[in-house]
A and B are shown apart, each in its own frame.
Chain A
Amino acid sequence: MTLHLPKRLAIVLVVLLAALALFPLWGKLVFAAKFAFLMQKLTGIMILAILAMSLDLLVGVAGLVSLGHAAFFGLGGYVLAMMSPQYEAANLWVVLPAALAVCALASLVVGYLSIRTSGIYFIMVTLAFGQMGYYFFNDSKAAGGSDGAYIYVKPTVEAFGITVLDLEQKLTFFYVALGVLVGVYALLRMLLASPFGRVLGAIGVNEYRVQGLGFNPMVYKLVAFTIAGTLAGLGGFLAATQYGFVSPAMLGWHQSGHVLVMVILGGMGTLFGPVLGAFILELAHFAFESMTDHWLLPMGAMVIAIVLLLPKGVAGLLLQWSKGKGAGE
C-alpha cells in the first residue's frame, strides 16, 4: 500500500494525465484519420482503469484476490440496459443511483458469503459467483440472453428541459470518463488514508495481527468488497453507456482475469499502477493487433516479461525510480 507519492512520481503522473486530458486537441493533429477511433479507445480504457482501481482495493490493499469482479461491472451495465426506455433517454439521476444501489447490494451479499474464505478458496468462490452472474444473464430472456441488449438512447442529464450533459457527444463522454477516473482515484486515495483504509491495508499485510489489535477483519473486508463492487458497477454503467450495448461477456471470468492482469502488471496496492496497467495492456493489444494476426503471442510475451522483470509491476519500477532519484540529490 502506497500512501504518499514521491514528488517526482506525482509530477510524472500529472504530466501523463494532462497529456490524456488534452488528447482531443493534439490527437487530432497527430493521428488525423485514426483520431475518432482513438478517442473511443481511450474512453474505453479509462473505464477499464476505473474497474482496475476498484479491484486493486481488494487485491492490492486488502489481499483479497477476486476472480469474479467483472460480475459487478456487467451488472452495472445491465441495470442501465434494463431501465432504459426503448426510444427515449433515461434520466441519469435515476438510472445511475439505481445501478450503484443494485451493485452495492449484490456485492454486499456476495461479499458476505465469500469473505469467510481466504486464499485459493476465496478465488474459487468469487469465480463461482462471477460465473453465476454470467449464466444468469446468458440463459435468462430478461435482457436479451446470450445476444446481449442494446441501449438505443444514452441517458441524459436535464435541468428545466435543457440538456446539461449530452453523453451522445463523444467529446463530452470522453471528459465524463476522465472526470470519473480522477474522482474515483481521489476517493480511493482518501479511503486509504482514513482509519478504515489503514486497517484494510494492515489486513493485507497481517490479518491475524489486525484481529489481535482489536479490529474485526471480516467487517472491514466486507465494507471494502461492497465499495469495490459498487465502483465496478459505476465502471460498467459507463461502459454500457459508451457502447450502447451490454452482453454476458461483461460479467464473465475472462473479463475478471483481464482486469486482474491490469492490476498485477500495473502494480498492486498503488491505485495509479492499475490505471497504468489498463493503458499499457489495452494499447499494447491495439498495437500488436494492428501489426499481426497472431497478436496474442507478443501480448503474452509482454505480460510474462513484465511479471518476471518487475515483480512489483510498472508502479513498483516508477516508485523505485522516483525514490532513488530523490535520495541521490
Chain B
Amino acid sequence: MSQSDFILETKELTKVFGGLVANSAVSIGFKEREAHAIIGPNGAGKSTFVNLLTGHLPPSGGQILFKGANIAGLAAHKVTRLGIGRSYQKTNIFPSFSCFENCRLAAQSRLASSMKFFRSASSYKAVSEQAEHALEAAGLTGRSGRVAGTMSYGEQRQLEIAMVLATAPQVLVLDEPLAGMGKEESEHMVGLLRDLARRYTLILVEHDMDAVFAIAQTLSVMVNGTLLESGPLDQIRSSKAVQDAYLGDGAEAY
C-alpha cells in the first residue's frame, strides 16, 4: 500500500495541445469513497483532465497515481481494466443494442479475455448477473429488453452510468452526467448519484451547482487549465478567490 491517503492522485498533470496549455500542473488527490466534484467555467480544462485521468488522452507531463502506481500514458482500455470507469459527457452507448446487451458487453470486459470463439456469450452466467445488477443499481430494472437508442434521453444517461457500473469499477469518473437533462430527470439522477457516492469513489465533473452541492463532499475548482483551489465543500463555498473567479460576486443566489 502507498502511504498516500488518496486512491487516485494527479501530480503536476499537464496537457499541451500545440500552443494551448489545456491542463497546467494540476495536482488533485481523490480519497477513497469520497464524492469529489470538479467545477470550473467552460474551457477550464475539466474535460481534458477527465480524458487524461482515464487514458483517453496521453498527458504531456506529470503523474497519475492509482493506488500508488503511476498510470500516466496507459491506454484507455487498460485504465478501465484497473478499475477506473468513466461515463461520457455526450451519450456514448450502443444505440442499436438492447439495454441489457449494452451492460452485458460492459460486464464482459471484466473477463480475463474476450478472445473466446466457441461458447455463446449469453452462457456466461456471472457476466449476465453483473449486467443485471448494474441495470438495477442504475434504476433501469424492467428496461433490459429495450433497444437503447429508443429510450428517453434520461434513460440513456442512466444506461451510461449502468454501463460503467457493470465494469465493476472502484473509481467512477462521471463527465457531466446531468448534461442536457430536464428538471425531473436531473432530480432522479442526483438521487442515483447520491446513492452511488455511498459505495464508490466518485469523481464528478458537473455544471449544475445544486447537484454538485447535493452530491459532493469535496470540491476542486479549475480555471484556465490550472487548479484554483481544492478542499471541503464549505471551504470552497467561502473562498474569496473561488467566488471571484467562478461563482460570481455573490449577487446571484442559488
B94 CB to closest chain A CB (Å) equals 5
Task: Scan residues 187-238 of chain A and give those whose CB is less than 8 A from a CB of chain B.
Answer: 190-191, 193-199, 202, 205-206, 208-216, 219-220, 223
On chain B, the residues within 8 Å of A206 by CB distance are 92-95
Taking a contact as CB atoms under 8 Å apart, the answer to whether A197 and B88 are in contact is no
CA distance A193 to B77 in the complex (A): 22
A204 to B: closest C-beta gap in Å: 9
Q: Tell which of B21-29, B39-47, B120-128, B225-233 binds the partner.
A: B120-128
Check if B115 is an interface residue, CB within 8 A of chain A: yes
When chains A and B are docked, how far (Å) is the Cα of A214 from the Cα of B85?
9
| Contact between A202 and B56, CB atoms less than 8 A apart | no
Interface size on A, residues (CB 8 A): 25
Say if the beta carbon of B118 comes within 8 Å of chain A: yes
- The answer to whether B223 has its CB under 8 Å from any CB of chain A is no
Which residues of chain A from 285 to 311 have a CB within 8 Å of any chain B CB? none
Beta-carbon contact of A191 and B117 below 8 Å: yes
The winner among A194, A196, A208 for most chain B CB atoms within 10 A is: A194
CB distance from A208 to the nearest CB of B (A): 7
Distance, CA A190 to CA B76, complexed state (A): 29
Which A residues are in CB contact (< 8 Å) with B163? 213
Most chain A beta carbons < 10 A, residue from B105, B111, B118, B122: B105
Whether, in the assembled complex, B183 has its beta carbon less than 8 Å from a beta carbon of chain A, the answer is no
In the complex, are the beta carbons of B80 and A195 less than 8 A apart?
Answer: no
Interface size on B, as a range, is 35 or more
Is the beta-carbon distance between B167 and A214 smaller than 8 angstroms? Answer: yes
Which residues of the partner chain A approach B95 to less than 8 Å between Cβ atoms? 205-206
Q: Which of A194, A202, A212, A216 contacts B120 (CB 8 A)?
A: A194
What chain A residues lie within 8 Å of B86 (beta carbons)? 212
**Which residues of B sit under 8 angstroms from A213, Cβ to Cβ?**
77, 80, 105-106, 109, 163, 167
The reply on B108 being an interface residue by CB < 8 A is yes
Are A211 and B77 touching (Cβ within 8 A)? yes
A residues in contact with B122, CB < 8 Å: 193
Q: Is A194 within 8 A of B118, CB to CB?
A: yes
> Closest CB of chain B to A231's CB: distance in Å?
13
Contact B88 A212 (CB under 8 A): yes
Interchain CA distance A193-B101 in the complex, whole Å: 12
Contact check, B77 vs A216: say whether CB atoms are below 8 A apart. yes
| A residues near B105, Cβ cutoff 8 Å | 198-199, 202, 210, 213
Chain B residue at minimum C-beta to C-beta distance from A200: B114
Across-interface contacts of A219 in B (CB, < 8 A): 115
Which 9 A-B pairs give the minimum distances between C-beta atoms?
Answer: A214-B109, A214-B80, A195-B114, A213-B109, A193-B120, A195-B116, A214-B81, A195-B121, A198-B121
Q: A residues near B, CB below 8 A?
A: 1, 190-191, 193-199, 202, 205-206, 208-216, 219-220, 223
15 A-B pairs with CB atoms under 8 Å apart are A194-B117, A194-B121, A196-B114, A196-B115, A196-B117, A197-B121, A198-B105, A205-B94, A206-B95, A211-B75, A211-B77, A212-B77, A214-B81, A214-B167, A223-B115
